[in-house]
Structure 1
Amino acid sequence: MTSCAMATAKCVFPVPIVPQKISDVPCNRASSKFAAYLFAEASAFSCPGPRHRAAAPGEDMRNTYRSTIKHLREYFDKAPVDLIRPTDIAGFLDELRDIPTTANRCKRVFSTIWNHARAWGYTDLANPCEGIRCFSLEKRLVYITDNIFDLVQQYAAEPLRDAMDLAYLTGQRPGDALKLTEQNIEGAYLVIKQNKTSKPLRIEITGKLAELMERIRARKRLKPIVTAALLVHTHGKRATGPALRYQFDQARDAAIERHPELAEQVRTFWFYDLRARAADDTSDVRGDQAASDLLGHENVQTTRRHYLRRGKVVAPTK
């Protein structure tokens, strides 16, 4: 039994027979309308207007909300909200047990929606997510070595090479790297406001990052279309996430085709791993706190828990 699958747990006490889904429970029109309003608010929360703007998360998190809410609406949209209980949350999680990462994210989003519904006066009931544990997920331990990084870059188009270097040298999420423009360069700093947390960072433009900035400027000077974006595609327009994702897949495929002995290592290389690579490499040179600062974390434990993958460097007994 998974920790989240409480709805399917065996019990020595007799339990009432209940419908498979909470949405199967008959409910009056008022209660059903209440549910519709609640999820309408959730959708608005992912595209905030004046009512929601103060509480709304960053852009990346809003994109996550939009995809997650689809799962929640499918299961809960017609549910009588005043009858939703912790066991229904457990049942929902159990339905998504094959995609545990998505299941855990759905639970967090549902909990957030419910808490805001309480604040906005839709309900005064306790949050049904309380006490329901998420699935335990194994920490991703893939570290991208110099060999694999250089190999993929060897078969990458110029825009992808710039994007990989920028993401690695700044330690930022792909979305944060993509939105950077020349206006983010203030004197000797690259100033970043992270989408997820809105936390500002000033990264010194020195060393390899300074070389990258000059390379980007030189390439942009040759393009017929001028844009303030730092990352541009071959025609000079702002690079997009889907375009870079396609180029990344193409570069990996080319590397695998020519170096089949490294296929497994190349195939497990995700673009997002560059953030963890930046954390590990920074930690090795300047310590865990420096890695945490680069990634924009409030707590160094977050960096250690989710991003540091190589392990501590230790001396032998003798």
Structure 2
Amino acid sequence: MGRPRLHDKDLPPRVYRRHGAYYFAPNGKGMAWIRLSDNKREALAKWAELVSAPPSPGVALAELMNRYLVEVAARKATATHAGNLQESKALLAVFGHMRPEDVRPVHVSQFMAIRGQDAPIRANREKALLSSVFAYAIRWGLVETNPCRDVKGYPEKGRDRYITDEEFAAVRALAGEKIGLMMDFAYLTAMRQGDMLALRVDQIEADGFTLAQGKTGKRQRFPLVPVLRSVVDAALRLHPELKSRDTLFFSRTGQPYTSDGFKTMWNRIQQAWAAQGGERFTWHDIRAKALTDAKRRHGLDAQALAGHATSAMTDHYIKRREIEEVTPLPTLPGAEY
């Protein structure tokens, strides 16, 4: 077994990021590395073509899971792909040795009952992954039914955290110049973390920039309105001692942030904020604040800003954070009007 990764934990086995591009290292001594692409989505798709090998009926579920991770999960957004890799570990520990056709709803129910004692939400995510694996296995002709279909998950409460302006300003001051600029950028654009970290300098033109969302593929054009231009210009002035940079925001070494690296850094900031008595919030909560404020304060098209396919998806963010003003009854019972 190879050594565990210290960096690029979001990448599949034997795929590495070097000099702004992605490479595949074949499993053989002295074999030359294969350049995949400088675009992560394209690189993972090419990697999947190189290593995929369809399992035959009757194989262990571990092989079916591996095919899914190679052909399906690798094409998902970075955070989703990383989540699937993590979720697969618990599933493989329980179901990996079983033949897919031998997995029954009772087995999934037992897994949920035990896993849900300590981590009910995680259990839901793992069941969702297992269900998706079986859905593809049906498509591939390897099984006839999905044992997860009728197994209920645990109830989840939708997140309704709204960051106040005062909280945003306080954490921004605590975070320092670079992360503060990233917070400003994330708020003004309502951009997902992965898209923001992947934004390249060469995408930024005089009047704006265009990107394709990593999660949905939807293309968006962001004009450089004055406040956004000032944030971008300030970010471009960071670390002038570096001779080159690929992305607008980058680590101390000039390399793009990894998802895990950025998460660790943001967690340290939130720990410091909590130590001061503040209520912690996630980076994704900044996106929710941006969409809520876009609609409530500025009358903007929050759906277009979010890049959602439907208004219902945007309302999922906004409605939980909007506070409806109500009118109390004007009198007590029996009082004269």
Question: Under a length normalisation based on structure 1, what TM-score does the superposition of the two structures give?
Answer: 0.76
Query: Who is 1:44 aligned against?
Result: 70
Deviations 1:248-300 (A, max 9, x none): 3343344455xx4xx142xx22222111111111121355x822221221122
SS in 2 for 1:219: coil
| Match of residue 115 from structure 1 | 135
Q: CA deviation at 1:232?
A: 2.4
Shift of 1:95: 1.9
Output the CA distance in 1 between the equivalents of 2:78 and 2:264.
22
Equivalent pair of 1:279/1:307 in contact (CA under 8 Å): yes
Contact 1:144–1:277 (8 Å) recurs in 2? yes
Match of 1:309 among 302, 317, 320: 320
- Structure with a larger share of its residues in helix: 1
Partner of 2:293: 281
Question: Which SS does the other structure have where 1:203 is aligned?
Answer: strand
Q: Which has the higher contact order (CA 8 A, sep 6+)?
A: 1
Ranges in structure 2 where 5+ consecutive residues have no aligned partner? 1-55, 331-337
Q: Distance in 2 between matches of 1:182 and 1:204?
A: 15
| Residues 1:153 and 2:158 aligned together | no
By how many angstroms is 1:102 displaced? 1.5
- Map of 1:299 onto structure 2: 310
Q: Which residue of 2 aligns with 1:163?
A: 182
Deviation at 1:247, TM superposition (A): 3.5
Classify 1:46/1:184 alpha carbon distance in 2 versus 1 (closer, same or farther; 3 Å).
same
Contact 1:160 1:244 in 2 (8 A): no
Q: Judge conservation of contact 1:36–1:77 (CA < 8 Å) in 2.
A: yes
Check the 8 A contact 2:69/2:85 in 1, yes or no.
yes
Q: Is the 8 A contact 1:159 1:234 kept in 2?
A: no
- SS of the aligned residue for 1:190 comes to strand
Measured in 2, the distance between the counterparts of 1:292 and 1:101 equals 27
Is residue 143–residue 276 contact of structure 1 (8 Å, CA) maintained in 2? yes
CA contact (8 A) 2:78 2:194 kept: no
Deviations for 1:214-237, whole angstroms, at most 9, x for unmatched residues? 1112225x2323213010234544
Moved more, 231-240 or 277-286: 231-240
Q: Quick check: 2:210–2:219 contact (8 Å CA) kept in 1?
A: yes
Structure 1 residues 173-231: Cα deviation after superposition (integer angstroms, max 9, x where no partner): 211111111233245333222222222222222142121111112225x2323213010
Contact 1:226/1:237 (<8 A) preserved = no
Corresponding residue number in structure 1 for 2:269: 251
Is the CA contact (8 Å cut-off) linking 1:42 and 1:69 kept in structure 2?
no
The alignment partner of 1:226 has SS state of coil
Q: Which has the larger displacement, 183-192 or 99-108?
A: 183-192
Give the conservation status (yes or no) of the 8 Å contact 2:197–2:250.
no
Distance in 1 separating the partners of 2:93 and 2:256: 36
What is the one-letter code of the residue matched to 1:153? R
- Tell me, yes or no, if the aligned pair for 2:210 and 2:220 is still in contact at 8 Å: yes
Q: Tell me how far 1:77 sits from its aligned partner.
A: 0.8
| Structure-1 separation of matches of 2:294 and 2:183 | 16
RMSD over aligned Cα atoms:
2.6
Partner residue of 1:81?
100
Aligned twin of 1:23: none
d(CA) in 2 for partners of 1:40 and 1:239?
27
Q: How far is 1:70 from its partner?
A: 0.9
Cα distance change of structure 1 residues 41 and 177 upon mapping to structure 2, 3 Å threshold: same
Deviates more, 1:307-316 or 1:185-194: 307-316
* Partner of residue 241, structure 2: 223
| Equivalent-residue separation in structure 2 for 1:194 and 1:293 (angstroms) | 12
The share of aligned pairs that are identical, in percent, is 25
Counterparts of 2:264 and 2:64, CA distance in 1: 37
Describe the SS at the equivalent of 1:192: strand
- Aligned partners of 1:236 and 1:39: how far apart in 2? 36
Q: Secondary structure at the match of 1:131?
A: coil
1:239 is the counterpart of 2:257: yes
Q: Return the alpha-carbon distance in structure 1 between the equivalents of residues 181 and 323 of structure 2.
A: 30
Structure 1 letter corresponding to 2:122: T
Count of matched residue positions in the alignment of Structure 1 and Structure 2: 273
- Note the 1:16-95 alignment, pairs <5 A: 33-45=59-71, 48=74, 56-95=75-114
Three-state SS of the structure 2 residue aligned to 1:94 is: helix
Change (3 A) 1:112 1:249: closer
Measure the CA separation in 1 of the matches of 2:73 and 2:155: 30
Assess, with a 3 A threshold, how the Cα gap between structure 1 residues 207 and 130 changes in structure 2: closer, same or farther: same
Contact 1:158–1:234 (CA<8 Å) still a contact in 2?
A: no
Q: Check conservation: 1:279, 1:295, Cα contact below 8 A.
A: yes
